[in-house]
Amino acid sequence: MSFLLLKQKNFSFIKAIKEGDFLFFMEDIILKLKECQLLGRSGSNFPTWLKWEMVKKAKAKKKYVVCNGAEGEPGVFKDKFLLENFAEEVIEGIKIALFTLKAEKAFLYLKKDYYQKFKEKLKKLIKNLPIILFEKPEGYLAGEETALIQAIEGKTPLPTLKPPFPTERGLFGYPTLINNVETFYYVGKVFNNEYQNKRFYCISGEVKNPGVFELPIDFSILEVLKSTNNLPDFDFFVQVGGGALGEILLKRELNQKIRGLASIIVFNKEKTDPFSLMKNWVNLFLKENCDRCVPCREGVFRLAEMIEKRKLEKEKLEDLFFVLKNTSFCALGKAVSLPFESLIKKLLWKK
């Protein structure tokens, strides 16, 4: 492989010639990601630079990159917005990861309807780059990072035990970088010195102006609603972090920043039946539960029974939530209690 160093204004890049022309970016992007304190936009808030560094330092014959566009959480549609409007920038971020990590290839893992809608557009942008479009199997759990790996490998997309983490032993047993669509979009911004400490917020529900908005990461939930003309003039509550595993917050709690997935769903407090809302959540978890883990399988079933009867027994619920959070196999089981517990305590047991 031979390289020609080219310098342009504020950044430099290497043109690599190897069976075709690929751009090999040699600027220390990992250092820049660290300086910008870019956090992963999937909801985990894991430092992007650290994940990249782990994969880069891993000693292995092969490495892989995965862009996770599964976006299975109800009420979240920012990846769709980015693929519609900024697909080229997303591909640029994947390209930077490929060459920074000297990865074998990358997979762009897309929710079924996103795959159908954007595949032709993305193929034109990918051209001869080693990026493979992959259509996500049906199922909520198929978006979890270890389940995603299983799916690409042709296996049943179910979560596996961590550690080892994908950065150590991921796709086909090799170190793998997994970031979501929004994270790769901002990698390109960081690389080109255009990152402004912003993120994308999905706003939906009982609002005047639903949509996706790019705003500062340090905005509170209240500031996000105000600045997008979405602050209701009626009594309301919100679900933050998605329409399934998101936490319920009351009006007085909105001065905090969003720590996880930047999704805000607004509910009219007077018009919303808490039991109907919980029934929607629990039906999703009953359908999407993998059934391998007793705490999650049985815990969700017991929750469904109580919700169906509209009879919540405090002591049993507290025990159930404790078991779910502390003994479930995967992140779904550990987090499933959050929406129920926050809604029940704040709206039904508030007195």
CATH number at residue 47: 3.40.50.11540
Element (H, E) at 22: strand 21-24
* 231 close to 14: Cβ distance less than 8 angstroms: no
- Per-residue model confidence as pLDDT tens digits over 180-233: 999 999 999 999 999 999 999 999 999 999 999 999 999 999 999 999 999 999
Could you say which of 244, 268, 292 is where a domain stops? Answer: 268
The pLDDT of residue 11? 33
pLDDT at 7: 31
pTM of the model: 0.89
In the predicted structure, residue 167 carries a pLDDT above the cut 80: yes
Q: What is the CATH number of the domain that holds 210?
A: 3.10.20.600
- Cα–Cα distance measured from residue 258 to residue 305, given in angstroms and rounded to the nearest whole number: 32
How many residues in total does the chain contain?
Answer: 351
What total of structural domains would you count in the chain? 3
Query: pLDDT by residue (tens digit) across 62-121?
Result: 999 999 999 988 989 999 999 999 999 999 999 999 999 999 999 999 999 999 999 999
In the listed set 191, 210, 245, which residue is the last one of a domain according to the structure? 191
Percent of the chain with pLDDT over 90: 73
The more confident residue out of 335 and 229 is 229
158 with 11, same domain: the answer is: yes
Q: How far apart are CA 101 and CA 119, in angstroms?
A: 25
Q: In terms of domains, do 115 and 243 share one?
A: no
The predicted structure's pLDDT at residue 24: 41
Indicate if 288 and 258 belong to the same structural domain.
Answer: no
- Both 237 and 112 in a single domain? no
Q: What range does the domain containing 310 cover?
A: 274-348
The owner of tokens 């039991």 is 275
Q: What is the per-residue pLDDT for 146?
A: 93
* One domain for residues 155 and 35: yes
Same domain, 36 and 116: yes
Give residue 185's identity as a one-letter amino acid code: Y
pLDDT at 330: 81
Integer Cα distance of 335 and 252 in angstroms = 23
